[in-house]
Structure formats: structure tokens, C-alpha cells
Amino acid sequence: MLAVFIFLYRKNRVLFSAWLIYFCTMITDYERIEKAIVYLKENFKEQPALDEVARQVHLSPFHFQRLFKEWAGVSPKKFLQFISVEYAKGLLKKDWPLSDVSFETGLSGTSRLHDLFIGIEGMTPGEFKNGGEALKINYSFAETPFGDILIASTAKGICQLAFVKDEKEGLINLQHFFPHAALVQKTDMIQQDALRFFSGDWADLQKVKLHLKGTPFQLKVWQSLLRIPFGDISTYSSIAEDIKHPGASRAVGTAIGSNPVAFLIPCHRVIKSSGIIGDYHWGSGKKTAILGWEAAKIFPGE
């Protein structure tokens, strides 16, 4: 860093002055956001409002909201929710009653705790407390143009779709993600509705129910993937732009790699800016095959 200062000072003092002002501004912004994060962590039980946190760093609520999102990647409200859920999860693991967990976390009641868990964890507090024990998952195996898959669903929607080498391996993987859920080998209507998209008819994709668990950032990325049209492609940087996190291409790539529902959430349609196909959780060869198959559906005979 010192070398940069010296180089700019010697070459162009006007540019040096501008860069120094910009650098100092960045340091000030970072210190404000760091202070806000510490304040939220120390006072989350009071569930402080946006105005209150903004006052702690001497910014207007509007400016603070924008600045916090730029640095932390989520809004102050989402960050507060994440802290609250993590704390509540620790209490639930200690077998605290739901009403006590709500009170200790600073929430007004069990209904708010329920809504918070559904929004962040994709399950109720009771389901989390039981390690998914109250969750019933139907699963089945099916053949597709790209290989065998395991598809699993809850009453809320598809929770996993994965390409598998054999049924035993697929079931072990499903049990790893839902260690205490009641697994039943059964093909239900939710699965049947999803499987028909392997025929190439994506007209009603939005009607497919999904039951996803992920961080707010992951969910944003997966929602962006769902907006990529059939037969089209995008890039990691374009996805980052779409979710209003330009420059977060690497984090986007990590979120895409964590996609639990292959094909329906089309992570295969994201390639590198250079045009290289890039990695794929189930193999780059399979990714290439799916992209080729989609292109053939759109341009038959070409």
C-alpha cells in the first residue's frame, strides 16, 4: 500500500490527492459499517430499528441502508434477522421452549419466531428443533436424457434434485442433508409435475413448487438463475449484476455450486465471461450436454 502512495505521488500529485481522498472515504465507510455490525451483534435482543442503528454511526437511515448493503451484501434488517436466527438456533438445540426462545431473542412472540425461521431457514422452529424429524420427504429415482436422478419433495415442494451414479449413493446424500427426516420412497404429484420439464416444455416452470433452504444471498442467486430463459446462457458477473452485487462473481459461483435442485434451477446455464463452459457440480460434460440439448430444442434441425 505504501508503494502505491509513493508511486502516485511521484507521477501525478493531482491524481494522488484524488486517490487519497477516495481511500480515506473508504476507510471511514468501513469503520462505520464495522461499528454498525458490532452494535447489531451486541444489541440484537432489543431488535433495534433502522433509525436507531443509523444514529450510532451518524448517518441518515437512507444513506446508512445503502452503505450497509454495499459493504455487507444484505440490508441491516436481513443481517439482524440472520443474527437472531443463529442465536435462536443455539437455544433450540438446548431444548428451550419456543415461547422462551422468542422472548430471549427479543421477538414479540412465537409467531414472529415462526416467520423468521420460515424466511431464513426454510423450516419451522419446531422442525429445526427436531432436526427435521417432523419433516416428511418423498423421494424417487427417474431416468432423464442426461442420466439417472434422485428427486425429493416435501408438502411444500421439491427440496432436492440430483444426478446420481447409483441409488444407494443418492439416498445417502439425501440422508446427509435431512438426517432426521422421515424418508419415504414414493413418487408424488409434485415430483411428476417437475419431471415433465425434462421433455423441454418450460412454459409453466414458475408453477413448480420448490422448498429451498439457503442464506438470503444464495436464495437471491437461485432466483436469478430461474430468470434465465430456456436455451439461453448467462455469466457469473451478469448474475452478480442482476442481484445488485456487482463484483461478487466469486461468491455467486459458490452459491451456484450449492444449488440443491439441478436442472430446474438452471445453474447449467451460467458460464464464464470468456465463453468457457466452466465447472458444474455434476460434471462439465453433463453441463455441455444439457446446453446442447436445450439449443437443439429451440433450433431443431440446425
> d(Cα 45, Cα 280) in Å, to the nearest integer?
41
Sheet with 136-144: strands ordered across: 158-163, 147-153, 136-144, 182-185
Percent of the residues in the chain that have a pLDDT greater than 70, as a whole number: 84
| Residue intervals in the chain for CATH 1.10.10.10 | 213-298
Among left, alpha and beta (phi > 0; psi -120 to 50; other), residue 244 is: left
Question: Any idea which fold 213-298 has?
Answer: Arc Repressor Mutant, subunit A (1.10.10)
Pick the CATH number of 136-199 from 3.40.1180.10, 3.30.450.40, 3.30.300.210, 3.30.160.70: 3.30.160.70
Which one of 76-80, 187-191, 193-197, 209-213 scores highest in mean pLDDT?
187-191
| Residue intervals in the chain for CATH 3.30.160.70 | 136-199
pLDDT of 176 over the 50 cut: yes
Q: Are 211 and 177 in contact (CB under 8 A)?
A: no
The whole-number pLDDT of residue 267 equals: 92
pLDDT band at 85 (very low <50, low <70, confident <90, very high): confident
Tens of pLDDT, residue by residue over 148-165, are 999 999 988 999 999 998
Closest CA relative to residue 72, chosen from 106, 45, 105, 40:
40
Question: What average pLDDT does the chain have?
Answer: 81
Tens of pLDDT, residue by residue over 251-284, are 899 999 999 999 999 999 998 888 788 788 888 8
Closest CA relative to residue 222, chosen from 184, 173, 255, 263:
255
Q: What mean pLDDT do residues 139-152 have?
A: 93
| CATH C-level class of 79-129 | mainly alpha
Catalytic residue among 267, 270, 271, 290: 267
pTM of the prediction? Answer: 0.60
Percent of the residues in the chain that have a pLDDT greater than 90, as a whole number: 21
Tens of pLDDT, residue by residue over 94-106, are 888 888 888 888 8
Q: Are 265 and 126 in contact (CB under 8 A)?
A: no
Strands 158-163 vs 182-185: parallel, antiparallel or unpaired:
unpaired
For 23, the enclosing helix (H) or strand (E) is helix 13-43
**Residue 159 is among the residues annotated as catalytic for this protein:** no
The whole-number pLDDT of residue 132 equals: 56
